[in-house]
Amino acid sequence: NKHVFCEKAITLNSMELNECVEIAKKRHLAINDGVTLFHMPLFKELKKLVLSNSLGPVKMVQVNFGSYKEYDVKNRFFNPDLAGGALLDIGVYAVSFARWFMSSKPNTVLTTMTPFETGVDESSGILLKNIENEIATISLTMRAKQPKRGLVACENGYIEIYNFPRADKAKITYTKDGHTEEIVCGESGLALNYEIRDMEEYVTSLNGQENLSYVCDVMDVLTEVQRLWGKYE
């Protein structure tokens, strides 16, 4: 059997991704997505921390991600037929960050965006909420630099991560006394190695269904955002 570890499968829409998942099941193939943060040791460690409830329940997640693309309408970043725009280029990482720390898939999606002259999204704001009343706010820009910053605000403290897609350290600030601590786990430079390692484990043990469910949730959110922008109407 052949197995595929796919980077940017999220450039599909929900229906196409679901078709890929069903085909993989029928043919007994392993399918997974290379959303890097899902494979970083730091995020696995932070997930355990959040689930332990030592910081209290998650209340809000905030994610900023902005890149600056040189003005070139011929570049794929500005081409609506080549998954151009901030959402599909960098937004997948921001939505993945939010989903990783939210207890369940968002069931409320609100959004607004500013289009580039080619029709792709130049900047956008996305608001998510799930049945646990956890809220995520996401800010994306393609023609203005922003720090790659993710923050998870819990009742008893908050987690702050810079350069989050491949981060190997995070800062925790505790609410009551304001003291901080740093968690260091893994190495940013080994990001692709962690992806490959997880895929190898998935192929041998099929122990990767949770990540695949996150990928499907993220794709559902991205598709709904685009629908709200009028893409699928």
Whether 88 contacts 222, CB under 8 Å: yes
Which position has the higher pLDDT, 176 or 2?
176
The amino acid at residue 130 is N
Give the per-residue pLDDT at 148: 96
Task: Grade residue 207 by pLDDT with cuts at 50, 70 and 90.
Answer: low
Q: Which domain holds residue 102?
A: 4-228
Using the predicted structure, report yes or no on whether residue 194 has a pLDDT greater than 70.
Answer: yes
Determine the average pLDDT of the residues in 200-225. Answer: 83
Q: What is the pLDDT of residue 97?
A: 97
- The pLDDT of residue 11 is 58
Amino acid 8: pLDDT: 56
**CATH code for the domain in which residue 27 is found:** 3.30.360.10
Q: How much is the pLDDT for 128?
A: 98
Tell me, yes or no, whether 138 lies in a domain.
yes
Would you place residue 212 in the very low, low, confident or very high pLDDT band (cuts 50, 70, 90)?
confident
For residue 185, is it within any domain?
A: yes
- The answer as to whether 184 is a domain residue is yes
In a domain, 173, yes or no: yes
Residue 15 or 70, more confident: 70
pLDDT in tens, 21-37: 788 778 777 777 768 99
Residue bearing the bigger pLDDT, 58 or 22: 58
Q: Domain count of the chain?
A: 1
Q: Distance between CA 150 and CA 70 in Å, rounded?
A: 25
Predicted confidence band of residue 215 (pLDDT cuts 50, 70, 90)? confident
pLDDT in tens, 83-139: 889 998 899 999 999 999 999 999 999 999 999 999 899 999 999 999 999 999 999
Is residue 11 a part of any domain in this protein? yes
Asked if residue 233 belongs to a domain, the reply is no
